[in-house]
Amino acid sequence: MVDQQEMEKFKFELKTECRGILYSVFFKIVKKKPNNCLFVTIMWEL
């Protein structure tokens, strides 16, 4: 049985890693289309 605390830690690290990838993609898009408000809104929600 996996420890609940370990699971939370893993989820947090995974979320942080995914967020990092999303941000790098996001900034590439923003550089191409700086007025893309939709992406800003999406990123704000994460």
- 37 within some domain: yes
What token pair was written down for 14? Answer: 């995974």
10 part of a folded domain: no
pLDDT band, very low/low/confident/very high, at 7 (cuts 50, 70, 90): confident
Number of domains in the chain: 1
Residues spanned by the domain of 28: 21-46
**Distance in Å from the first CA to the final CA of the chain:** 30
Instruction: Tally the residues of the chain.
Output: 46
Q: What Rg value do the Cα atoms of the chain yield, rounded?
A: 15
User: Cβ(39)–Cβ(29) under 8 Å?
Assistant: yes
Which amino acid is residue 16, in one-letter code? T
**Average pLDDT, whole number, for the chain?**
76
pTM for the structure as a whole: 0.40
